Chains A and B, each alone.
Chain A
Amino acid sequence: MLIKLTGGTVYDPASGIDGQQQDIYIKEGRIIAKPTETVVDKEYDLKGKVVMSGAIDMHTHIGGGKGNIARILLPEDHRKDPVHRSDITRSGCGHAMPSTFVTGYRYAEMGYTAGFEPALLPINARQAHMEMADIPILDKGGYVMLGSDDYLLRMLTAKKDQKAINDYVAWTMQSAKAIGVKVVNPGGINAFKFNQRKLDLDEQNCHYGVTPRDILQVLATAVKEIGVSHPLHVHGCNLGVPGNVQTTLDTIQGIGGLPMHLTHIQFHSYGTEGDFKFSSGAAQIAEAINRNKNITIDVGQILFGQTVTASGDSMRQHANHKHASPNKWVTMDIECDAGCGVVPFKYKDQNFVNALQWAIGLETFLLVNDPWRIFLTTDHPNGAPFTCYPHLIRLLMDRSFRNDMLSTIHPEAQKMTSLASIDREYTLQEIAIMTRAGAARLIGLKDRGGLSAGNWADITVYTDNTDRQKMFEKPDYVFKDGQLVVVDGKVVSTKWGTTHVVRPDFDPSVEKGLKDYFDRYLTMKLGNFKISDDEITEDGRGSITVHPLKGEVA
């Protein structure tokens, strides 16, 4: 079947197309060059419409144990947003931490066609993949979490060489079916198990004598050397702590030019100035990002309202539990592997700290110059549910709307932000970079995030509207792998996306040490730990897409 999308205004930063009128042809799920055959089976007249590739959320908590704890914890939140079944869609719940099916529908209804779970605990990766297998329409993938696992810390204490660490990282990526590597509060989750309650960049784990700086160095090096496209994905030390802007600057400095992605940087950009000893570090952070081309970030914007924070950072989540709203929370120590903490939050515009957090996120967006190195996230659901993205896009694209909002927040927070003085408004092309081309490039996705021939036909069509929130919350059409899945912001058909992975090489002898470790200390046999391809594909819905390593010919 040949589909033609005729005359749309195309924003395709991957090909350098910035608002030009172009026709797009789709055949067998992919975009093709203008064919010689003239029989078009289905044509869509897109004159006056805005065409982008399907959006990619490069950091969203959509699969894994902590998210399911968040769901179970909040029945009262689900009851406010029940989702009815239909002939083609399943029932479920929405709002802060939607059910899996609803996650897929609502992302697709905003024009998203892929989402990446950033915290795949090796021991819980099976669950993350099973949950993501129940998210319809979207492609998915995950970044496997290392850095607080006792195996790595034992290697560092034993002064194992970088090659041994590379093998372990590559083996773990393959075992957990990951496309990236993440570190959360490097070593801090482990330190919490030894009753340490904070861990600065150069503070030693009391048992291992290893510092977060050591961990970041070996993991960032490993990711680079084994050829993984996505740089080490870092949730830094001291999340949420006033004064952590210095930690973040030191982290950037300390990585010595290695590729590094700093995630939800808003939560790591706090100073200690002012009457309330809480201030914006966004300008310093943005300056450091602009200067250090090896660094990419996503923002983790907060937006006002009820949500739930679900994080691997058990240390910081425990410290923040006193802010839980409603007052209930969970932390877990997990399998000598990692941990998690789930704390419901209600961000309030009349709360000074929350209001300034909101402004800090926006300052960061607006002060970082290069849209290829900054990504649009709320760290769903931690800063806000992903369904807030159209609102966030309007805040970025519409200065007067932004300033109207600014004038309503806590007055002391207004005084502590430079937001009103920033004129920048994001362009459609910049939005397309942050949410499409840049994200695909950052993750290392082949044939996604662009509209040139050869790409998979993940395509979103919007009606241009000066109210950018309205525009982005209701696309006219969304195609996933060439299949029309959304019309006028409603799902009209469903399908199953693929799971994106990379498969870096490792020396098979790495399993000798691991087998001994599993047998002595863990609760599972090594052979039962590794996730097989079958587990993702055997139900006939899932599939695995392997992406090239750096330097590989695709």
Chain B
Amino acid sequence: MTEITEVPSPFCGIGTDDLTIRVDGVLLKVIENGCAVNTPAFEQPITDISARVAGQEVSLEVAVAKAAELLKDTRLPLIGGCATDVNGMRGLLALADRSGAVIDNMNFTGARNNFLALQDSGWMNTTLAEVKNRCDLLLVVGTDLEAFAPRFFERYVWNKESMFLEDTSEREVIYLGRAPSGEASTSPKGIKALVFPCAIEDLAEVVAVLRALVKKQPIRATSVAGISVADLQLIADKLKAATYGVVTWAAGALAYSQAELTVQTLSETIKDINDQNTRCSGLPLAGKEGDQTANQVCGWTTGYPARTRFSKGYPEYDPFLNETKSLLANGEVDALVWVQAFNVNAVPPETDLPTIVVGRSGMTFAKEPDVFIPVGTPGIDHAGHAYRMDNVVAIRLKKLRDSGLPSTAQVLNAIEQAL
């Protein structure tokens, strides 16, 4: 039995790397600094250790050969999930290039809200250490931040020391659109966040008025979506008065049609504030299920984020047409490879197509896939790299135990070689 300290997590997205984990054979126990997201993700037991073809246990070689056989004469296979580490994504993209597949990260429909805004007008963003040391006003838009990342406030807002703030407990927190589910945002002095809730799909209108107020445009209405314009004026004034305001949102939480326009309005509001003699930055929340990792590696390998097809022999990005759900619904693809090394609950979508699952050991299926290859989890069963939410920092994941499970990269490289 050993204890491993300073363990980085690929699960929470905010790059916690102070976990202490007790390793007893292949059993893991989070001893220190766990949270509702990380602890179950680390402690998930291994179940399957051997691959299966049609529900029968087989060797890895047989499973790989069967996977290659299923992919060999496909017209357009879909590689979904795309939830793995950097090396796993390298293998996945090599396989996609070879097999002319379409790839789609499982969180892309949420992330699309950010990509469409980024690719249309850009943004001014910041990273976690800047938040920790500089942020004097945090505006949380449409997102239950502590449910998303339970330790966000402890690590980056109510941290005891900061380089540029006298007293971090004086920071102001404002929620717009969605109320927090707990008390993490309440300051150590007991000051509660200001909360201005509205229906989530009304946020587009609310942030449009907020931007108008930041730009000193006259507003005739007195309330918008149940929030008084005076309250929005208060938020605008606080953003402009802050030394280093930070606006955060989780693109996936903005689950309504054309939410990219909300992200764009927020990002343009941030730019406007930077033109009014102070600083303000955006902080998009993400980093779950390998989403940032998938988009980064796909970005440098193809030029595009991880919703891209290779069927013409070169990468083609389309944030709408290459979506898993519609590809399956429209019968456009003829095989499914599901890659998910982090989360046993993120199972492949229902389909009658030939299905290959390269998944975390412990995954269970309503319908047994044609091929199931259990793989190790990056940061538990093998070393690797994963991106945290702010996209700048790739964390070095540690190997914690000897499970004998192969990595995603080993499996996908083997399938590619067999083609």
User: How far, in angstroms, from A134 to B91 measured CA to CA in the complex?
Assistant: 12
Asked whether any CB of chain B lies closer than 8 Å to the CB of A126, the reply is yes
Contact A528 B395 (CB under 8 A): yes
**CB-defined interface of B281-323 with A at 8 Å, one 1/0 digit per residue?**
1000000000000011001111111000010111111000000
* Contact residue among A333, A524, A538 (Cβ-Cβ distance under 8 Å from B17): A524
Contact B315 A92 (CB under 8 A): yes
**CB-defined interface of B103-136 with A at 8 Å, one 1/0 digit per residue?**
0000000000001001111111111111011100
Shortest distance from the beta carbon of A155 to any chain B beta carbon, whole Å? 13
Contact B125 A330 (CB under 8 A): yes
Contact B274 A318 (CB under 8 A): yes
Contact B314 A130 (CB under 8 A): no
The interface residues of chain A lying within 8 Å CB-to-CB of B279 are 192-195
From A82, A522, A528, residue with most partner B Cβ within 10 Å: A528
Contact A332 B305 (CB under 8 A): no
Contact B163 A71 (CB under 8 A): no
Contact A134 B90 (CB under 8 A): yes
Contact A75 B119 (CB under 8 A): yes
Contact A528 B17 (CB under 8 A): yes
Q: Pick out which of these stretches binds chain B: A94-102, A225-233, A272-280, A442-450.
A: A94-102
The interface residues of chain B lying within 8 Å CB-to-CB of A72 are 115, 118-119, 295, 299, 303-305
Number of A-B contacts (CB under 8 A): 188
The interface residues of chain A lying within 8 Å CB-to-CB of B17 are 524-525, 528
Asked whether any CB of chain A lies closer than 8 Å to the CB of B363, the reply is no
240-272 of chain B: CB within 8 A of chain A: 243-244
The interface residues of chain A lying within 8 Å CB-to-CB of B156 are 523
Contact A90 B97 (CB under 8 A): yes
96-115 of chain A: CB within 8 A of chain B: 97-101
Asked whether any CB of chain A lies closer than 8 Å to the CB of B8, the reply is yes
The interface residues of chain A lying within 8 Å CB-to-CB of B87 are 539
Interface size class of chain A, counting residues whose CB lies under 8 Å from the partner chain: 35 or more
Shortest distance from the beta carbon of A64 to any chain B beta carbon, whole Å? 10
499-536 of chain A: CB within 8 A of chain B: 520-525, 527-528, 531-532, 534-535
* Contact residue among B122, B128, B391 (Cβ-Cβ distance under 8 Å from A73): B122
* Contact residue among B126, B161, B315 (Cβ-Cβ distance under 8 Å from A332): B126
**CB-defined interface of A6-27 with B at 8 Å, one 1/0 digit per residue?**
0000000000000000000000
161-220 of chain B: CB within 8 A of chain A: 161-164
User: How far, in angstroms, from A154 to B163 measured CA to CA in the complex?
Assistant: 10
Asked whether any CB of chain A lies closer than 8 Å to the CB of B364, the reply is no
Asked whether any CB of chain A lies closer than 8 Å to the CB of B18, the reply is yes
User: How far, in angstroms, from A74 to B121 measured CA to CA in the complex?
Assistant: 11
* Contact residue among B123, B301, B304, B392 (Cβ-Cβ distance under 8 Å from A335): B392
Known: A193-B134, A333-B130. Contact between A520 and B393, CB under 8 A?
no
The interface residues of chain B lying within 8 Å CB-to-CB of A345 are none
Interface size class of chain B, counting residues whose CB lies under 8 Å from the partner chain: 35 or more
Contact B394 A126 (CB under 8 A): yes
Contact A100 B130 (CB under 8 A): no
Shortest distance from the beta carbon of A528 to any chain B beta carbon, whole Å? 5
**Minimal Cβ-Cβ distance residue in A for B120:** A328
The interface residues of chain A lying within 8 Å CB-to-CB of B75 are none
User: How far, in angstroms, from A421 to B129 measured CA to CA in the complex?
Assistant: 53
453-491 of chain A: CB within 8 A of chain B: none
* Contact residue among A67, A90, A337 (Cβ-Cβ distance under 8 Å from B94): A90
The interface residues of chain B lying within 8 Å CB-to-CB of A335 are 127-130, 392-393
Shortest distance from the beta carbon of B107 to any chain A beta carbon, whole Å? 16
74-94 of chain B: CB within 8 A of chain A: 86-87, 90, 94
The interface residues of chain A lying within 8 Å CB-to-CB of B295 are 72
The interface residues of chain B lying within 8 Å CB-to-CB of A269 are none
Asked whether any CB of chain B lies closer than 8 Å to the CB of A131, the reply is yes
User: How far, in angstroms, from A435 to B367 measured CA to CA in the complex?
Assistant: 60
Contact A334 B392 (CB under 8 A): yes
Shortest distance from the beta carbon of B276 to any chain A beta carbon, whole Å? 11
Contact A85 B313 (CB under 8 A): yes
The interface residues of chain A lying within 8 Å CB-to-CB of B243 are 195
* Contact residue among B133, B134, B300, B310 (Cβ-Cβ distance under 8 Å from A68): B300
Contact A100 B97 (CB under 8 A): no
Known: A68-B299, A525-B18, A528-B395. Contact between A93 and B129, CB under 8 A?
no
Asked whether any CB of chain B lies closer than 8 Å to the CB of A403, the reply is no
Shortest distance from the beta carbon of A50 to any chain B beta carbon, whole Å? 33
* Contact residue among B128, B314, B395 (Cβ-Cβ distance under 8 Å from A91): B314
Contact A337 B129 (CB under 8 A): yes
Contact B163 A336 (CB under 8 A): yes
Asked whether any CB of chain B lies closer than 8 Å to the CB of A127, the reply is yes
Known: A195-B279, A331-B124. Contact between A523 and B161, CB under 8 A?
no
From B15, B17, B301, residue with most partner A Cβ within 10 Å: B301
Asked whether any CB of chain A lies closer than 8 Å to the CB of B155, the reply is yes
Asked whether any CB of chain B lies closer than 8 Å to the CB of A327, the reply is yes
Asked whether any CB of chain B lies closer than 8 Å to the CB of A367, the reply is no
User: How far, in angstroms, from A525 to B6 measured CA to CA in the complex?
Assistant: 7
Asked whether any CB of chain B lies closer than 8 Å to the CB of A42, the reply is no
Shortest distance from the beta carbon of B122 to any chain A beta carbon, whole Å? 4
The interface residues of chain B lying within 8 Å CB-to-CB of A318 are 124, 274
Asked whether any CB of chain A lies closer than 8 Å to the CB of B2, the reply is no
Shortest distance from the beta carbon of A309 to any chain B beta carbon, whole Å? 13
Asked whether any CB of chain A lies closer than 8 Å to the CB of B385, the reply is yes
Contact B393 A68 (CB under 8 A): no
The interface residues of chain A lying within 8 Å CB-to-CB of B385 are 126, 130, 535
The 5 closest A-B CB pairs, nearest first, are: A93-B303, A82-B314, A78-B303, A335-B129, A328-B122
Chain B positions within 8 Å of A, measured between CB atoms, are 6, 8, 15, 17-18, 86-87, 90, 94, 97-98, 115, 118-130, 132-134, 155-156, 161-164, 243-244, 274, 277-279, 281, 295-296, 299-305, 310, 312-317, 383, 385, 391-396
Offer 19 A-B interface pairs, CB within 8 angstroms, sorted by A: A65-B392, A73-B122, A78-B303, A78-B315, A93-B314, A123-B129, A124-B392, A131-B300, A134-B90, A332-B127, A333-B281, A334-B130, A521-B132, A524-B393, A524-B395, A528-B6, A528-B17, A532-B396, A535-B396
| Extra 8 A-B pairs, beta carbons < 8 Å, given A72-B118, A328-B121 | A72-B115, A73-B119, A91-B97, A130-B86, A329-B122, A330-B124, A332-B125, A535-B385
